[in-house]
Amino acid sequence: MIETEVLDSGLDAADSGLGDADDDDFDEAVEVQDESLPDHRYIDRELSWIAFNQRVLELAEDPATPLLERANFLAIFASNLDEFFMVRVAGLKRRIVTGLAVPTNIGRAPHDVLTDISASAHALQVRHAEAWQNLVRPALADAGIEVVTWESLSDQERADLYDYFQAQVFPVLMPLAVDPAHPFPYISGLSLNLAIRIRNAKTGRQEFARLKVPSMLPRFVPLPGSRESVRYLPLEELISNNLDDLFPGMEILEHHTFRLTRNEDVVIEEDETENLIQALETELLRRRFGPPIRLEVTEKMDDVMLDLLISELDITEQEVYRLPEPLDLRGLFALTRIDRPELHYPPHIPTTATAFQSADQGGRADIFAAIRKADVLVHHPYESFTTSVVAFLEQAARDPHVLAIKQTLYRTSGDSPIVEALINAAERGKQVLALVEVKARFDEAANIVWARKLEKAGVHVVYGLVGLKTHCKLLHVIREEDGMLRSYSHIGTGNYNPKTSRLYEDFGLFTTDPQVGRDLTRLFNELSGYAIEKKFKRLLVAPLHLRKGLLRHIDKERRNALAGKPARVGIKVNSIVDEEIIDALYRASQAGVRVDVWVRGICSLKAGIPGVSDNITVRSILGRYLEHSRIFAFHNDGDPQVYIGSADMMHRNLDRRVEALVRVTAPAHLKEILDWFDTAMSDQTSSWHLGADEQWVRHSVDADGKPLTDLQELTMSQIQRRRRARAVR
């Protein structure tokens, strides 16, 4: 949902399907005292994240998952874990070193938490490696996609690969010796390396060398084969079996692969710098040289070589992970590009939202006319981002009656039509404001590039408020109509990124409601200038109002329950960690409120505490799409209050970010969201259930062994049926 470097698939880790799409600012526990609640009422957030990644792994282990998608989930698991170490573990270590670490939300000392993480992560990485070796790799071989070893090759195949090695690999290899004249080389983060021990034939001395496996070359080298099958050899195996060419006259004694993870967290004290962009660029350079936090080595690495690495890298025994080969299974992203449709999820082409399906005489839908008729709710990726959000912005850019466009940009793709539309609008003389969040983790460099491109085109680019990340998803268009100004607004739950919109589940609301227009005008003025807005009508905005607003709604449900009225709270988020929100839900549960929590990733809330959370149900759904929308629904004595937006229930979202939720008001939209939510929480829907023992248990089949409803497949079919029904009319 933590979902970061460029991978073989051409997607970022944040785009890969199940990683945390949003960066993971370090959340410290907030001490909350409530004598009516037990002391041990939270789940450790770090271990909860590891449990989330275990759910990803379970999708890879499931034979019902299409085979190449199983390989993809193995790669996603690896990418997720890399980011967890680079940010969460690195942040915890930094706070320990600087003396700023405090006990966790369950009262564990920081050093003990690192021990817990190490034990859990190590066991899960071994399970991950075994899933590849014992489950997915053999199944791929049965399907005609074989990842082979050097030992299994024929002499002719080795000769063919040697020719490839000489022509395509050898010229780019850079062996680095370690001796008195050559200090131990810098090891870049997440690179795959060969540690080599050699003996000098003349002197008899043993030496160490490091060889980096080139990341720009294919991780899996194809072998000539029949049409019925394809065979691949890992690149590191090809290199390690031709080391004699790199060290002529030397005896190769040992060679093993290893991989280092570094602290890639970025810390900027904004109030101490006059130029945020320059400070961020400097910090990005520093990121490359962050201290090591994890060393992955093969099980067969000898102690002499391992001791050398530990000493030179200044890393502890606890930070060493001995794993079965191959290391770095992110490389499996490359295999998912194999053209075998029967081994993938069936293709899904997003449909155009019903309200936007009517076209004008030129064959192009009039988005403005559709929104003027009524609010439009769009559900991605089931409904198209391109024919809704992108079309809306592109129409605004070319429409002569549009005077101004204001938009927040948190993450966007490298070839973004969003950015091009903003540039087009500015070049046509419109007032264009882009609030670019340059501190979006692992997208900082890309966002700096786009910010400068926008500025050169005449777009007013701002970077938000000092000390706060701008995470809300807002697009505001001002259009002149009959001598009056009308606001067209879009508030979403996901980023303005056409690429991830095909993978992430999100909602977006289009509206001409004047209240929303006034709210967005005030909010953008606050973000771009010095205004401090204290009141919004249809929005809940963090950091000033969102926490208070949600607590007020939860407490109203509690009071309704005490008064004998029906009461219910439904929350769908990526993560729920904030202690104050969790305690409010506990108190509501104690009063008899039905509380349903649908969470993709981290959940610090405990279900099933007697007398405390008996009325709380927690579910998690993972699948082909990343569940990313945030929904907050309150029964409100029969007058439902439902909000959608960008905020998770974490300290960072409620207190250190600009977030926005919008209230959904159209009865049809309320029914659509609430019915969908109820289906997700149903025992007849495939999901993971959080038990009183803090364990997540997958429920995917009924008592007779029949598959339970797949929510994402059901949603796809329902929206397609809705489209066909309209076509018939």
- Residue entry with tokens 């005077």: 403
Which residues, 6 or more positions from 265, have their beta carbon under 8 angstroms from its beta carbon? Answer: 26, 86, 87, 90, 91, 94, 287, 290
pLDDT the model gives residue 178? 77
Per-residue confidence at 443, pLDDT binned at 50, 70, 90?
low
pLDDT the model gives residue 277? 46
C-alpha distance from residue 194 to each of 181, 213, 244, 331, 604 (Å): 20, 7, 14, 16, 40
Torsion angle of the four alpha carbons 713, 719, 725, 729, in this order, in degrees rounded to the nearest 10? -160
pLDDT the model gives residue 11? 34
pLDDT the model gives residue 8? 30
Shortest CA distance to 396 belongs to which of 368, 420, 363, 359?
368
pLDDT of 415 higher than 80: no
Say which CATH topology domain 13-141 has.
Methane Monooxygenase Hydroxylase; Chain G, domain 1 (1.20.58)
The percentage of the chain sitting over the pLDDT mark of 90, rounded to a whole number, equals 66
Per-residue confidence at 288, pLDDT binned at 50, 70, 90?
low
CA distance 644 to 625: 19
- Same fold across 354-534 and 541-728: yes
Per-residue confidence at 592, pLDDT binned at 50, 70, 90?
very high
Shortest CA distance to 508 belongs to which of 416, 434, 407?
407
CA distance 195 to 243: 11
Instruction: Please report the beta strands in 289-430, taking only residues with DSSP state E, as ranges in sequence order.
Output: 292-298, 320-323, 376-380, 402-409
Nearest-5° angle of CA 586, CA 587, CA 589?
Answer: 65
pLDDT of 321 higher than 90: yes
Average pLDDT over residues 618-644: 97
CA distance 391 to 370: 12
CA distance 324 to 211: 20
pLDDT of 656 higher than 80: yes
Higher model confidence: residue 100 or residue 453?
453
The helix or strand, by DSSP H or E, that contains position 707, with its residue range, turns out to be: none
Contact 236, 217 (CB under 8 A): no
Instruction: Please report the beta strands in 497-625, taking only residues with DSSP state E, as ranges in sequence order.
Output: 504-511, 539-542, 568-573, 594-599, 616-620
CA distance 27 to 42: 14
Contact 458, 373 (CB under 8 A): no
Beta strand pairing status for 594-599 and 568-573?
A: parallel
3-state DSSP assignment of residue 37: coil
pLDDT the model gives residue 170? 95
Domain boundaries along the sequence of the chain: 13-141, 148-337, 354-534, 541-728
pLDDT tens, residue by residue, 525-559: 888 875 566 688 999 999 989 999 999 999 999 99
pLDDT tens, residue by residue, 26-81: 565 555 567 678 888 999 999 999 999 999 999 999 999 999 999 999 999 999 99
Contact 290, 90 (CB under 8 A): yes
Higher model confidence: residue 14 or residue 108?
108
Q: How many CA atoms lie within 13 A of 254 on its CB side?
A: 16
pLDDT of 1 higher than 70: no
CA distance 9 to 72: 10
- Write the Ramachandran bin of 300: left for phi over 0, alpha for psi from -120 to 50, otherwise beta: alpha
Say which CATH topology domain 148-337 has.
polyphosphate kinase like (3.30.1840)
pLDDT the model gives residue 379? 97
Per-residue confidence at 2, pLDDT binned at 50, 70, 90?
very low
pLDDT the model gives residue 21? 40
Shortest CA distance to 657 belongs to which of 669, 667, 645?
645
Q: Which of 166-180, 341-355, 698-712 has the lowest mean pLDDT?
A: 166-180
CA distance 510 to 377: 6
Phi, psi values for residue 598, rounded to 5°: -115, 110
Per-residue confidence at 17, pLDDT binned at 50, 70, 90?
very low
3-state DSSP assignment of residue 549: helix
CA distance 197 to 180: 16
Domain 354-534 has CATH 3.30.559.10: no
Mean pLDDT (the chain) is 87
Q: Count CB atoms within 10 A of the CB of residue 131.
A: 20
Q: How many CA atoms lie within 13 A of 490 on its CB side?
A: 29
pLDDT the model gives residue 533? 60
pLDDT the model gives residue 16? 40
- In the annotation, is 471 catalytic? yes
pLDDT the model gives residue 462? 83
Class of domain 541-728: alpha beta
C-alpha distance from residue 391 to each of 67, 371, 533 (Å): 35, 13, 31
- Residue entry with tokens 């080969």: 325
The catalytic residue among 380, 471, 476, 545 is 471
CA distance 498 to 411: 10
Paired strand residues for 258 = 193, 297
Torsion sign across C-alpha atoms 677, 678, 680, 681? positive
pLDDT of 587 higher than 60: yes
Q: Which of 131-135, 275-279, 443-447 has the lowest mean pLDDT?
A: 275-279
Higher model confidence: residue 142 or residue 182?
142
Q: Which of 120-134, 151-165, 454-468, 669-683 has the lowest mean pLDDT?
A: 454-468
